[in-house]
Amino acid sequence: MTIRTFVQATERTLTIRKLILLALAATLLIFIVLLFRASMLYIKLGNDFAGDSWEIPSILYGRPTKIRVGDHLGNLRLEERLKRLSYTKVSGTPDRPGTYSLESGRARIFTRGYRIYELPSSGGPAELEIRNGRVASIVTRAGNPLESVRIEPEEIARILGPKRESRRLIPLSSIPDSMKNAVIASEDTRFHSHRGIDFVGIARATLTNLKDRRFTQGGSTITQQVAKNFFLSPKKTLMRKLREAELAIILELRFTKNEILEMYLNKIYFGQDGTVGVYGIEEAAHFYFSKEASDLTLEESALLAGIIRSPNRYSPFKDKRAAKERRNTVLNQMRRMNMISEDELRVALTSLLVVQPQPTKPRLAPYFMDYIQRITAEELGDEELFRTGYRFNTTLDPLLQSLAEKAVAEGLAEIDKTLPPSDEPLQAALVAVDPATGEMIAMVGGREYGISQFNRATSARRQPGSAFKPFVLLAAMRQTLEGRGGITLSTTVSGEPITFKTPQGPWTPSNSDGKTYGNISVRTAIENSVNTATVRLADEVGLDEVVKTAKAAGITSRLPSLPSMPLGSFEVTPMELAYAYTTIASRGIRFDPFPLFSITNADGGIISEKRGRNERTIDPRTTYLTAYAMEGTIERGTGRIARALGIRFTASGKTGTTNDNRDSWFVGFTPDIVCAVWVGYDSEANTKLTGARGALRIWSRFMRSVYPEAEPTALTPPDGVEFEEIDPASGFLATSNCTQKFREAYLIGTAPKDTCPIHPVSPALDIFRKGFKSLGDYFRSLFK
């Protein structure tokens, strides 16, 4: 070898070594870059799945339905409530949650469990004995007596994100094995053996597609579908497939198989409910079968697993034959993989394809939903509700809410026919409260939410007019109870015209009916809404006392100490007035507005818990007397048209009309429900409506629908109240000669002791009656 040849050989060797070193360096660099990229993806995937990759709507639920001994099932509309919750009616004894049966004199319900702060229920079977339409007893399946049973709350509304994806996240442990196996058999038979990419599956799919000369099978694994659904567009390109494979490998490194399957089952698309997409197994179970995923049967699991490949093609709502064939294909594949036995396969294949879709519901309570979001905004901050998946457990009764919305819509349509054309629509607001708990059970904030989102129930401040007068009466009754006055319901007060001096000059109230009254009873002043008599009564009681009583009842607005204040010349909201009347209906317990039990996150963790704040502020004897007097408004007074409108039962209430008919009010109640209705124009223009011609019509429609089959129970007098038969004209004890008699209520010891001077009888009989009454008063005082 020459020196030249040696040098050339050495140079070639050095060149090769350099190339090798460069190749090794490049390989190492690529490895480092890939390792860095993989590490970043590893971290990113963990952060993304823990963050806002999910679009989970927040859901508002109503309050649970409570069935108590003594309740009338017709008024409760039990079967309608069960159907709204997609309960299945069966013959015989219900054997699973969400089923019920009705027989002569008996109802059996297998309730579902739920969790709401202070009102939890594990669900289970209950048997109700029915007599004359009312619940006579409630027992468990074992025969143990129950005072009540609760049915799970109904969904009111959802707050959806921009993608319109509706889903409910559930853990893998809540998904039955039949569903997990069906999905694996249908979508990825080698799920537990591959590491994100199934090369065997890809090869098999390729050969099948070549054989069929068309694309009939895909080779994507469940892991790849998770990667695609969370991070990639559906566009089919080579770069997207490479990116999908890369993400799938990292997913397999970052998460366990169970975690990946849980992501998949919560993320996957199952079909369309109008403009809303149905995503995740829990939402699909509710959409197709009106049940929770945990209750899915084998054949139902196979049907849902088969839908995944093409929700439009295999939807049982569109093509039952194709859906059943696809279901059976999945079942056969499950048998080939030994996931089910031969007997299970045979039974499932021969089972009918039965779906029970959730009933399509109109959007319910939009004003209430806005109100809940507003009052919780401070607690929840700037969270996007469709990403956090909050659960708002509210006090609303969805059935009563739908009745309230119907009453407002139909009532306004009826009232419109009586009015001349206007440049603006007549508006209304309604608030209903449960006086036993203070729970807000219905709210309507306007005529049509799509046109005006302004919530008149909570934000419109309008004068209550004569609807405030019951608090003047309440103040008088409180004074009498405390021994600082002697006014009773039969006390006479002048209804003659009166003029007051005010800073703005003389003020002379007039009566809305244009009449002039002489001496009338306090009861008549309230029943007929006599302004002149009411301001005289307030003047005798004292304006400060009226203000004090109204505040104790729950009026939070500023009350000016002016002579016109007793006639409602200040401003309140319908919700404020409804809760003030609730204090009267609840025997003196004042409740703060209570629309919400709790807020939880998607996992059930408590975000916020609410308690209904209440305290006794007024003696029940005085509230009873006030409510008893207000019964006369409907029986004989300004609200008597309610009888013609179908109110056949006893109720207490008061009309309200403001100057120039700007506002029409009616607030009334039974022991079960308080309802306040306002009608007017947003511009405060003249409606030409009194309280009776406007708001009372809507109130009557609503209350009539609350008691479709049986009357409510009457108010029961508390201890310390007695009744006497009086002559209504004189206000004294009735005699045998009185042509009219009335049973009036009094605080013990305050009833009149003299007989009617207009219709006297023999003096001896009068003396005997007085002595007998005095003796009775003496013995009653011994047992106070």
Strands (E), 260-323: 269-273, 276-279
* Burial state string for 333-367 with b = 16 or more CB within 10 A and e = fewer than 16: bbbeeebbeeebbeebeebeeeeeebeeeeebbbb
Q: Six-digit token pair at 420?
A: 């001349």
Q: Six-digit token pair at 496?
A: 């003659």
Active-site residue, 466 included = yes
Q: Using an 8 Å Cβ cutoff, are 183 and 222 in contact?
A: yes
Among residues 58, 166, 466, 564, the one annotated as catalytic is: 466
Q: How far apart are CA 679 and CA 696, in angstroms?
A: 9
Angle of CA points 538, 540, 542, to nearest 5°: 65
CA dihedral 22, 27, 29, 34 (to 10 degrees): 170
* CA dihedral (529, 530, 532, 537) positive or negative: negative
Q: How far apart are CA 648 and CA 634, in angstroms?
A: 10
Count of CB atoms situated within 10 Å of the CB of 206: 12
Q: Using an 8 Å Cβ cutoff, are 42 and 103 in contact?
A: no
Half-sphere exposure at residue 288, Cβ-oriented, CA atoms within 13 angstroms = 33
Among residues 187, 262, 576, 631, the one annotated as catalytic is: 187
* CA dihedral (373, 377, 380, 381) positive or negative: positive
Q: Using an 8 Å Cβ cutoff, are 575 and 431 in contact?
A: yes
Measuring CA to CA, which residue among 454, 679, 671, 658 is closest to residue 581? 671
Q: Which amino acid is at 582?
A: T
Q: Six-digit token pair at 339?
A: 């996931």
Enumerate residues 6+ apart whose C-beta is below 8 A from 563: 500, 502, 507, 509, 535, 538, 539, 543
Where does residue 349 fall: left (phi above 0), alpha (psi -120 to 50 degrees), or beta otherwise? alpha
Strands (E), 571-657: 589-591, 596-600, 606-609, 614-616, 652-657
Strand partners, 433: 440, 674
Enumerate residues 6+ apart whose C-beta is below 8 A from 558: 570
Q: How far apart are CA 262 and CA 688, in angstroms?
A: 62
Q: Six-digit token pair at 504?
A: 């703005």
Q: How far apart are CA 183 and CA 296, in angstroms?
A: 13
In three-state secondary structure terms, 78 is helix
Enumerate residues 6+ apart whose C-beta is below 8 A from 510: 497, 531, 532
Q: How far apart are CA 285 and CA 317, in angstroms?
A: 14
Measuring CA to CA, which residue among 578, 609, 568 is closest to residue 674? 578
* DSSP result, 212-274: HTS-------HHHHHHHHHHS-S---HHHHHHHHHHHHHHHHHS-HHHHHHHHHHH-EEEEET
Q: Are strands 391-394 and 596-600 parallel, antiparallel or unpaired?
A: antiparallel
Q: Using an 8 Å Cβ cutoff, are 384 and 161 in contact?
A: yes
Alpha helices in 507-604 (DSSP H): 522-527, 531-541, 543-553, 574-585
For tokens 């963050």, what's the residue? 51
Active-site residue, 482 included = no
Catalytic residues: 187, 466
